[in-house]
Structure 1
Amino acid sequence: MGEAPIYQENVLCIMPFDKPTNVLDDIYDKYPLIKFKFIYQSFIPGLSWAMSQVDVSNEDYQKATILVTATTLPRNPNLVPNLKFIHFISAGIDHITNSPIYTNSDIKLTTSSGIHGPQIAEWVIMQLLAFNHHEKQLLAFQRQHHWGKADDVWNVRDYVGQRLGVLGYGSIGRQTASVCKALGMDIVAYTASPRTTSESKRDSSHIIPGTGDVDGTLPSAWYSGLDKASLHNFLEQNIDVLLVALPLTDRTWHFLGKEEFEILGKRNAFIVNIARGSIIVQDDLIAALKKKRGGLRGAALDVTDPEPLNHDSELWDMDNVAITPHNSGSGSSYAERSFRVLEKNLMNLELGMPLLNEVHRKRGY
């Protein structure tokens, strides 16, 4: 047995979860001199990813060499002179891109990308199956104590042979593709940059063992580009179900609107959005969902624009729409999985290796 490494960090954690004790025990075993300080920050009820205000002392910020956070950041980079990197418990960082830490510092930023695949893929499958099997109608029968007639819900189309288009083939898209492939679906993938080699198709983010599409071999075809022509070429590939799994950036804001829904409407496609609401032009989506011919057959939305969704939005009462409160990524393993990414990056930091899931500021994710 070798000696434990002489390695010390002061990790300040500001987050809405209990301490992930199993991961912390593993970290303490490897790095007995490491110190954690936890400050609990609660969610504001009814507001997706909105957090209560917390007081963080200047002394805590000055001591910190690593910051783990959801939304809270020092108002001035000068308050964190010893900070080596910030680990976000979310996969997206669009909520902090206007902060001084993002715009006026070169502090390294990492995300929890890779931890959401299993739970979000299960949410997606739940929505797809519920829609095709008329779950809303069946639940209405149960509430009414009514034994519905078979012909009320007879028209069930399974997903064998249908095509899933994954707009943003990251960890979430890959795990969803894996499960949909098991249902007999064909997969086509779309990424910002071309993936023409085996190495470029590999998943380089954090991977939960046994999940995803590590080698990128599931798609029967791969498309790329952030211009309209490239996007339209992808959408014209006979897509039956479109999964929106893109990060929100200046380039993807309102990425899907009237023109895109007209293309998808030719196939009477179903839209699933687990990314960010403002990737979609919401009024255009509503119009496409209401069209009797050449429109969308339905949508499952875990995100909307704005959040929470306006009380009087038409989306609430549309029979072909399912809405959930930005919770598809929630799970009992969330904090543990996020801290597993942190654990890997503690080792990478010690060894002088690149950090996992590091944000590229110019790219926006």
Structure 2
Amino acid sequence: MSKDDAPELLLVFLPLSEPKEVIDSIRQQFPTIEVAFVEIPPGTVEITDDVIPSDLLQRATIMTTAFGVIPHPDQTPQLKYLHSFSAGVDHLINHPIFRDTNIRMSTSSGIHGPPIAEWVVMNWLVYSRMYTKILEAKNQQRWLTFKEVRQWEVDDHVGQTVGILGYGSIGRQVARAASGLGMRVLVYTAQPRLTPESKRDTGFIIPGTGDPDGLIPEAWYSGRDKASLHNFLAQGLDHLVVSLPLNTGTTKLIGKEELDVLSAHCNSTSRKPFLTNISRGKVIDQDALLSALQSGALGGAALDVTDPEPLPVGHPLWEQPNVHIGSHMSAFGKRYWERSLEILRLNLTRIHEGKELINEYHR
């Protein structure tokens, strides 16, 4: 990787056993890079010598990080490149290695679409097909009657409209899944996407997923002002999926006003909109969300994320019958780590070739 004479050391640490297949593929493709794997204890919040030997930290030139567990720059004097197992870096921006160094960084954006989109659709179907009632009857060993089911207003998604707020890799896979259900897809981004080039996904794409050319949306809305956002929310949405990064511009972006607009313009005459948040809890004013759920302005919500996390015992959201809470687990799956390490593997080649990294984060 380097043009120096110093040997390269890739240090991978995770709170689980080694994903051997992909680690071995990196070793085989880059025989001049020493690869060290360390299984750290679950719940680790600080890198100390008893977690990772200081010798490895001192020699590491390439490193991965997960769940915000990251060493201090003084511990890693040779570090040149840091790869994050997360899609974003909002949890790292105040860390000295982010703030006080020029170490190159890449993220795992692009790998989260398939599992999160499945989580989104799962929650839609649990809600629309009244699955909790079906499960309750099954646990009671009770065969449901037609009269009971008829009263539930069970529905499918054909012809329903979903608005996707944020159209990165996750939003694009949600759009792909929604399109497969026969839904209309509308999207909203901060910047207008008026050309074919601007609509393309330029990040990491798992083959056969997402919307690489941005062709799925029936309409594409944009803006950074309240009026533009309200115009999007007034398009008769049956579902709103929030898939935005957290920053100063998106904190509490969805509040009482926005939820009122969404509710007032819902397509359905019998059911209010269903909101799904797969971004960060702070993107939504949680008090306003709770009020909308309690008043019936929203039909229901699927919240993979909350504010704070974990959601405290006794919080009113736990008691809402029309709310599904996912404990920030929607992206997890057994192929998560190998997909993230595939980005790292590709980037090692790109560094050798003098190219920009896939998912490179520019400070």
Deviates more, 1:16-25 or 1:326-335: 16-25
Distance 2:185 2:33 in 1: 44
Q: 2:315 aligns with which of 313, 316, 326?
A: 313
Query: Which residue of structure 2 lines up, in the alignment, with residue 335 of structure 1?
Result: 337
Query: Which residue of structure 1 lines up, in the alignment, with residue 353 of structure 2?
Result: 351
| Paired residue secondary structure (1:95) | coil
Deviation at 1:78, TM superposition (A): 4.3
Pair 1:105-2:101 in alignment: yes
Structure 1 contact 17–335 (Cα < 8 Å) conserved:
no
Structure 2 contact 10–63 (Cα < 8 Å) conserved:
yes
Matches within 5 A, 1:1-365: 9-44=8-43, 51-55=44-48, 56-70=52-66, 71-75=68-72, 77-154=73-150, 155-266=153-264, 267=266, 268-292=272-296, 295-361=297-363
Q: Deviations over 1:6-53 (max 9, x none)?
A: 996311122223322222232222211111122223433xxxxxx454
Deviates more, 1:21-30 or 1:109-118: 21-30
Distance 2:192 2:55 in 1: 46
The verdict on how the C-alpha distance between 1:105 and 1:263 changes in structure 2, with shifts beyond 3 A counting, is same
Distance 2:177 2:361 in 1: 28
Q: Deviations over 1:238-277 (max 9, x none)?
A: 1111111111112111111101110111112110111111
Distance 1:330 1:240 in 2: 27
- Give the counterpart letter for 2:300 in structure 1: G
Q: Which runs of 5+ in 2 are unaligned?
A: 267-271
- Give the counterpart letter for 1:119 in structure 2: P
Deviation at 1:57, TM superposition (A): 4.7
Query: Which residue of structure 1 lines up, in the alignment, with residue 269 of structure 2?
Result: none
Deviation at 1:192, TM superposition (A): 2.2
Structure 1 contact 14–72 (Cα < 8 Å) conserved:
no
| Paired residue secondary structure (1:232) | helix
| Paired residue secondary structure (1:96) | coil
Query: Which residue of structure 2 lines up, in the alignment, with residue 3 of structure 1?
Result: none
| Paired residue secondary structure (1:234) | helix
The verdict on how the C-alpha distance between 1:31 and 1:287 changes in structure 2, with shifts beyond 3 A counting, is same
| Paired residue secondary structure (1:193) | coil
Deviates more, 1:143-152 or 1:271-280: 143-152
The verdict on how the C-alpha distance between 1:196 and 1:319 changes in structure 2, with shifts beyond 3 A counting, is same
The verdict on how the C-alpha distance between 1:17 and 1:216 changes in structure 2, with shifts beyond 3 A counting, is farther
Distance 2:15 2:221 in 1: 38
Structure 2 contact 111–339 (Cα < 8 Å) conserved:
yes
| Paired residue secondary structure (1:339) | helix
Structure 1 contact 8–31 (Cα < 8 Å) conserved:
no
Structure 1 contact 164–241 (Cα < 8 Å) conserved:
yes
The verdict on how the C-alpha distance between 1:78 and 1:256 changes in structure 2, with shifts beyond 3 A counting, is same
Q: Which runs of 5+ in 1 are unaligned?
A: 1-5, 45-50
Distance 1:153 1:40 in 2: 50
The verdict on how the C-alpha distance between 1:360 and 1:251 changes in structure 2, with shifts beyond 3 A counting, is farther
Distance 1:8 1:24 in 2: 18
Identity %: 47
Distance 1:7 1:345 in 2: 19
Q: Deviations over 1:146-196 (max 9, x none)?
A: 223323332112111111111111111111110110110011111222211
Q: Deviations over 1:278-303 (max 9, x none)?
A: 111111101001113xx011001111
| Paired residue secondary structure (2:35) | strand
The verdict on how the C-alpha distance between 1:102 and 1:291 changes in structure 2, with shifts beyond 3 A counting, is same
Deviation at 1:231, TM superposition (A): 1.6
Deviates more, 1:221-230 or 1:329-338: 221-230
Q: Deviations over 1:95-154 (max 9, x none)?
A: 111111222222121110111111111111110011000011111112222223323332
Q: Deviations over 1:197-250 (max 9, x none)?
A: 111111111111111111110001112223222221221121111111111112
Deviates more, 1:13-22 or 1:203-212: 13-22
Please report the RMSD computed on the Cα atoms of aligned residues, expressed in angstroms. Answer: 1.7
Q: How many residues align?
A: 347
